[in-house]
Chain A
Amino acid sequence: MAQSEARVILQRVEGVLIVPLPDPMHDAFLDDLRISVLEYMRHHRIAGLILDLSGVEVLDEHDFERIRRVADGVTLMGAPVVLAGMKPGVAAGLVMLDISDAWVIPSLSVESAMERLR
């Protein structure tokens, strides 16, 4: 495994987990993220998970599908997942790819996502 890959950091703020997504995003990161969050949820109750996309400039179909899997898992365990701060370029790109995004609970920023989940 490459050394440069970002590690998953779970930040808990007022019962909400906040995870900034790195750019570029590796498959291993999202897999680690899924496992860590689900494991965490086994022992702690959380009000929700916020995935902070404000640092992500490029996101393809594949990454988006992986993010969906994380969201699905967490949702199954009973907590909502919010995608916060998506960049205009990323949003426009995803729409052009014509992929399903009905599952997404979006938010303008981490701040407004917090307001929503608290």
Chain B
Amino acid sequence: MNYEEFKRLYEVSEADYENVRKIGVKLAPAINDFVERLYAYMREALGYEFEIHFPDEASLARAQSLSRRAWLEFLEAKWDETYIKSRIRIGEVHAQLQIQPRHYLSSMNKALDLWSQLAYTLAPNQKDLPKLIESFWRVGQMEGALVVDIYSQRTGEIIAQQSRALTDMSTPITAIWDGILMLPVVGIVDSRRAQDIMQRMLEQIAEKRAIVFILDISGVAVVDTAVANHLIRMTKAARLMGSYTIVSGLSPSVAQTIVELGIEVGDMKTTGNLQDALRIAFDRAGVEQTIGAK
């Protein structure tokens, strides 16, 4: 990501950093007082969620020490690698703890408010004090945007990861023999799921050089025209790649439905149970059957 963009968006200049540094020197000694007041605010404002994020003294102390370090860095006001890295870390930690952006941003707002008050008490005679505080706010708000940006990015990555895991879990393709793959399909097959299944199925056929693919549908809740058409498509695509598909586990009621709906299954090979499918598969793959062979 281009972090320089944040400086441009928030119109933060070198002079602003200069100003933050100037006032930062005066504010740094008050860091403990600041952190205490900030966390007092958060305890008040976040209510029970505060307890969730900081369940015990140790985790609270740890968070406070991290805050202390982050704010000391802020007061030093150096836009460098270390600073950006530490902000990325803050965003990641917030994403991991699932702290809501509104809580982070409101706390950030409170923090800037606290620093402004401290500035007026600690350095009442500072030259250009309103200007310095203005810079302080500008840099602070930019930092807030930076952290929230990273937060949302990480959250997006977590979601993408979960959906990948879900797809993998819902299509557990297993190699049960040399050249024979099997996929038990469980649950509801809608067109999105059918697309996922077909994609994974064809990829695996190409990768594992599957001569036979067994699609076991005994766990499919409903087989209607749409589902049957998806199955026919999968079978056809697999055939084009040179693989033979057997749809196993057709229950009597499913067979009945297919007949009643007048679905043309064409060349699709179907069997009532997995055992028959395996026998055909072994035959096709040239596996010698010594157990249960007739």
Contact = CB atoms under 8 A, between A and B. Distances in A.
Interface of A: 83-92, 94-96, 101-102, 104, 106-109, 112-113
Interface stretch (B54-62, B165-173, B200-208): B200-208
B243 interface: yes
Contact of A101 (B209, B236, B242): B236
Complex A-B, nearest 6 residue pairs according to Cβ-Cβ distance, in ascending order: A88-B202, A108-B242, A106-B242, A91-B237, A91-B240, A107-B242
B209 A96 contact: no
- From A84, A92, A113, name the one whose CB has the most chain B CB atoms within 10 angstroms: A92
B242 A112 contact: yes
A83 B240 contact: yes
SS class, residues of chain B in contact with chain A: helix
A108 B240 contact: no
Contacts of A89: 202
Given A91-B237, A92-B237, A95-B236, A84 B242 contact: yes
B209 A108 contact: yes
B198 interface: yes
Contacts of A92: 198-199, 202, 237
B209 A88 contact: no
B242 A88 contact: no
Contacts of A109: 209, 242
A87 to B, nearest CB: 7
Interface residues of B, number: 19
Nearest to B210: A108
Nearest to A116: B242
Contact of B211 (A86, A101, A108): A108
B225 to A, nearest CB: 15
Contacts of A101: 236, 239-240
Contacts of B210: 108
- From B206, B210, B240, name the one whose CB has the most chain A CB atoms within 10 angstroms: B240
B228 to A, nearest CB: 14
Given A94-B240, A106-B242, A88 B233 contact: no
Given A94-B237, A95-B236, A87 B242 contact: no
A91 B233 contact: no
A112 B202 CA distance: 17
A106 B240 contact: yes
20 contacts: A84-B242, A86-B240, A88-B199, A88-B205, A88-B206, A88-B237, A91-B202, A91-B238, A95-B237, A95-B240, A96-B233, A101-B236, A101-B240, A106-B241, A106-B242, A108-B210, A108-B211, A112-B209, A112-B211, A113-B242
